[in-house]
Amino acid sequence: MLVLEPQHVHMHQHAGDKAEALQCLINILVEDQLVTPEYLSGLEAREQQSATYLGQGIAIPHGTPQSREYILKTGVRLAHFPEGVVWDGENTIYLAVVIAAKSDEHLQVLQILTRALSKDVNEQVKSAQSSEQIIEILQAQPHSLVLHENLIQTDTFVEDIEDFFWNASKLLKQQKLVDPGFISQLDPQNTIQIQDDLWSISGTGYVKQPAVSIVKAQQPLTFQGSTIKTLICIAANEQLDTDQFNRLMDVLFQPQVQQQLETEQSSNEIAKLVGAETIPDWPSRSIVLANAHGLHARPATQMVNLTKTFNGDIQVSVDGGSFVSAKSLTKLLSLGCQRGQMLTFIAEPNTDATDALEQIILAVRQGLGEEVEAIEDQLTSNSSLNGSQLIEETDSVEISHCGIAASAGLAFGPAHIIKPKKFNYDRFGQSLKTEKEKLEIAIHTVKNTIHQFIAKSTSKDIKQIFLAHLEMLDDPDLIKQVHQGLNHNLSAAAAWHEHIEKAAKAQEGLKDKLLAERAADLRDIGDKVLAVLCNEPEVEEPEQSYILIMHDVGPGDVARLNKDRVAGILTAVGGSSAHSAIVARALGIPAVVGAGDGVLNIDPHAVVLINGDNGEFEVNPSAELIENAIREREYQRLRREEAERHAHEPAITVDQHQIEIAANVGKILDTAKAVSHGAEAIGLLRTELVFMSHNSAPDEKVQEKDYRHVLDALAGRPLVVRTLDVGGDKPLPYLPIATEENPFLGLRGIRLTLRRPNLLRQQLIALLKAADNRPLRIMFPMVGRVEEWRAARAILDEVLQQYPCSNLEVGIMIEVPSAALLAPILAKEVDFFSIGTNDLTQYTMAIDRGHPILSAEADGLHPSILLLIDQTVRAAHANNKWVGICGELAADPKAVPVLMGLGVDELSMSITSIPLVKAQIRTLNYAACQELAQKALLCDSATAVRTLVE
């Protein structure tokens, strides 16, 4: 992030005219090794296109896109001209802020400058005597207090005071008024009762701009011997406008306000009641900004020039934030809008401004005077695709007949193809009343359908999925957001789809597999309602057994699967660790995934044969192939039954080498099931899923109870526990974390808990107390540096002084390549390694394993991964330490002999895979596996390794 610092200010410069001033600026940039001298041509070209005078005696000269080749490093420098320089033939500048930008980092500086321009600083800039004065002038924040309708939330479901705090903080964070951590400033002991069930709370830390959020609950909550239904949350710092704040408090202390708050359900009416800014109920249009460097000075000037040709008021907001005038250059720059963000324009009704919206949208789409690479703007489209956008959608896509083996077994039957849905609807509605009625009817219809599914279902897990869908449809915040779209004249279908897609994209951007399922749930329930609104018929399931063919299989699809009818699954996208693959394995349904878009064009009447063991499939197979498949399927059924009968026997090779077989679990109640399937240990307890099962942070007693349940069910078998593994890509609702550009490389795992040591300490205490000296193995996730391991171990050692545990081992997960490379050092200090092959593969190969196209290439049997596993095992065994595998690779039949041959001591996998893997190991020769593994290390691809194993 670029910042303005005193050392970047060059005071008392002199220039007779603009040309001399530009040369002066170039000399400064060259001296600081930010640009080459040729960058001057870019500055001059930009000034010829449009002068860069910003206002208040300040100019922001910068180069053209063509001159970026002369930039050595992004930076900003300031030159003070006390005598002034005539800049555009009319205005005189006293400060030039010259920008050399390879990216859009300079937009943050522009936001600082435009905030400074909200007050009269011309004379201050002119007479400044030091660089510190200049920085102080520019960074001084005017007194303010943000009171806005988008900071008010009504009909909120709350269970305790922390829910109030969470929702109030979320509103402030969404508008970028506070930083992550603000919620930690809110102490229930500091709440103040204003009136009967009206309370306030304030925080002063992590505040970017003073603001007030208001949260009104569905029902009053018992609190401190009284009740609370409405919370006023005050974010205050030294810039708080005390006069405005006092006026607000005067209003809130009026008795009639309490009565009005009690009955009023509209955030708009509450905003009016407390004197907050309201969102105008004006016609609107939205578009994603495609300009590479955001809404900087030049495109913003183009927008101002266009909007000023209309007499009516035109306002604009970014990503649902506050609206500002689209006719003010400084206000536009203060938005700091970057490529990919959503601009929403509203126009004053009954004026020529309403006619301007289409022209403005067109101008933004065309780049506002700049060449742009278009961004697909789904929010301005009248169609939707469920799931990932297909690369092609033509009948000419070739079918490869080979995908990725995802779930073992053979299956055949007629193809039942469900293609991504498309919905056509009008963007603007008939009337607000009519569209609201349409929406209510559609939601009610879908709820009835879901209730019918729940009544018919015999599966507890499926019922939970549908109950979660009902909760989404009852979410007051969701309905409120959709109603805001209706208030802007959108049709029910457009308002519904736009909000669902926006929410799903935000969830999907977190990238975590489990939370990505939440995005799929959102789209699934969104499509159900949209289908009703658009009169789209439901796809009927065939009566006979069939092969389900889809782009991908989401949680909602899983819930509807009838195991008696779905013989197999074939998908266009996905990898062996994708959601569809995991689900298929859990249900015992043969599956091939990642077979390409062509499978969606298979003739619906065709018979399809799939082989979940090798990833192959055949369209309209011969009678002979089907007969062979029937025989093979029967053999596999008998093999599984035989494996299950011997599931509790150890996994020992024919030459008497034994390996421990463990289970990966996320739910504590799954422990007993794992033991019944032959698990000799829990090789990975994902404690983040234990945390996620609670609505608020589980305290030490709650955690101890959960962990004790697992240890009791294990009856003396070892428990390997991964400490809390959450972060930017796996947030907890009660553990807010700043949004990160790349959460997979951000604050997660041990990096997070080392910065929240009390959280880690509390979890460690709960684990040690629950152990009662039973075999407990604690491992720290995402360790990439020796320092992280030592810091985490130090906290554990401190806890052990008070809570000793005689049967304890401590290790780390190897999921970052640096940890594998450091294994010879770490092995001297840890008790064990557990290799998470899912993350190790994606970090090593730089492929997101959830990527719809590339995930198929993220194969854990790639030689690069095997080499890292080999180094880790060698280092561990040299120090008499053991190594486990807890990724999906542990249950891959082709990986098992290779991993054993590399010397892995434990394999931990999904519960249903345990019997078959044990049975496979009993057929293997350990010496032969060692020879095979050495050959695999010399292969040049994952495909070559798999061919070698065959």
Is residue 235 domain-shared with residue 334, that is, in the same domain? Answer: no
* pLDDT at 382 (0 to 100): 33
Of 483, 512, 533, which one is at a domain's C-terminal end?
A: 533
Domain extent for 246 = 149-274
Q: Is residue 645 part of a domain?
A: no
Q: What angle is formed at CA 751 by the lines to CA 750 and CA 755, rounded to 5 degrees? A: 105
Is residue 228 domain-shared with residue 204, that is, in the same domain? Answer: yes
Determine the Cα–Cα distance for residues 879 and 831; give it in Å rounded to an integer: 9
* pLDDT at 383 (0 to 100): 32
Determine the Cα–Cα distance for residues 149 and 280; give it in Å rounded to an integer: 10
Helices and strands per DSSP (H, E), number in the chain: 34, 30
User: Model confidence over 62-93: pLDDT tens digits?
Assistant: 888 788 889 988 888 999 999 999 988 888 99
Q: What angle is formed at CA 502 by the lines to CA 500 and CA 505, rounded to 5 degrees? A: 105
Q: What angle, 0 to 180 degrees and rounded to 10, lies between the N-to-C axes of helices 926-936 and 942-949?
A: 150
Q: Is residue 414 part of a domain?
A: no
Q: Is residue 122 part of a domain?
A: yes
Is residue 504 domain-shared with residue 554, that is, in the same domain? Answer: no
* pLDDT at 714 (0 to 100): 95
Is residue 209 domain-shared with residue 110, that is, in the same domain? Answer: no
Determine the Cα–Cα distance for residues 599 and 619; give it in Å rounded to an integer: 10
CA atoms within 13 A on the CB side of 756: 22
What radius of gyration do the chain's Cα atoms show?
A: 31
Tokens of 378: 């789904």
Is residue 657 domain-shared with residue 549, that is, in the same domain? Answer: no
Q: Is residue 690 part of a domain?
A: yes
Amino acid at 524: D
Which residues are CB-contacts of 943 (< 8 A; sequence separation ≥ 6)?
none
Q: Is residue 580 part of a domain?
A: yes
8 A C-beta contact, residue 17 and residue 63: no
Amino acid at 47: E
User: Model confidence over 460-489: pLDDT tens digits?
Assistant: 656 666 777 787 788 777 888 888 888 888
State the CATH number of the domain containing residue 792.
3.20.20.60
* pLDDT at 470 (0 to 100): 80
State the CATH number of the domain containing residue 620.
3.50.30.10
Is residue 696 domain-shared with residue 832, that is, in the same domain? Answer: yes
Which positions are catalytic? 62, 296, 579, 886
Determine the Cα–Cα distance for residues 469 and 787; give it in Å rounded to an integer: 44
Is residue 127 domain-shared with residue 196, that is, in the same domain? Answer: no
Of 533, 555, 585, which one is at a domain's C-terminal end?
A: 533
8 A C-beta contact, residue 172 and residue 182: yes
State the CATH number of the domain containing residue 446.
1.10.274.10
Q: Is residue 402 part of a domain?
A: no
CA 398 to mean position of chain CA atoms: 33
Determine the Cα–Cα distance for residues 95 and 311; give it in Å rounded to an integer: 33
Is residue 779 domain-shared with residue 694, that is, in the same domain? Answer: yes
* pLDDT at 453 (0 to 100): 73
**What does residue 240 show for φ and ψ, rounded to 5 degrees?**
-60, 130
H-state helical runs in 555-677: 555-560, 579-587, 623-645, 670-676
Sign of CA dihedral 602, 608, 609, 612: positive
Q: Which three-class secondary structure state does DSSP give residue 658?
A: strand
Alpha-carbon separation of residue 444 from 340, 366, 423, 521, 939 (angstroms): 34, 41, 20, 18, 58
Find the distance separating the first CA and the last CA of the chain, reported in whole Å: 52
Q: Is residue 128 part of a domain?
A: yes
8 A C-beta contact, residue 568 and residue 612: yes
Is residue 775 domain-shared with residue 851, that is, in the same domain? Answer: yes
* pLDDT at 803 (0 to 100): 94
Longest C-alpha distance within the chain, in Å? 94
Nearest CA-CA partner of 923 in 651, 677, 662: 651
Q: Is residue 255 part of a domain?
A: yes
Is residue 171 domain-shared with residue 135, that is, in the same domain? Answer: no
Q: Which three-class secondary structure state does DSSP give residue 294?
A: coil
Kindly state the helix (H) or strand (E) to which residue 708 belongs, with its residue range.
helix 700-714
Is residue 758 domain-shared with residue 904, that is, in the same domain? Answer: yes
Which residues are CB-contacts of 831 (< 8 A; sequence separation ≥ 6)?
777, 809, 810, 811, 881
8 A C-beta contact, residue 142 and residue 334: no
Q: How many domains is the chain partitioned into structurally?
A: 6
8 A C-beta contact, residue 611 and residue 547: no
Of 247, 274, 301, which one is at a domain's C-terminal end?
A: 274
Is residue 822 domain-shared with residue 932, that is, in the same domain? Answer: yes
Tokens of 321: 């934030």
Give one DSSP letter per residue of 107-161, joined into a string. HHHHHHHHHHTTS--HHHHHH--SHHHHHHHHHPPPPB-B-BGGGEEEEE--SSH
Kindly state the helix (H) or strand (E) to which residue 272 belongs, with its residue range.
helix 267-274
87: left (phi over 0), alpha (psi -120 to 50) or beta: alpha
Q: Which three-class secondary structure state does DSSP give residue 250?
A: helix
Q: Collect the ranges in the chain with pLDDT lower than 50.
A: 1, 376-399, 511-513, 728
State the CATH number of the domain containing residue 244.
3.40.930.10
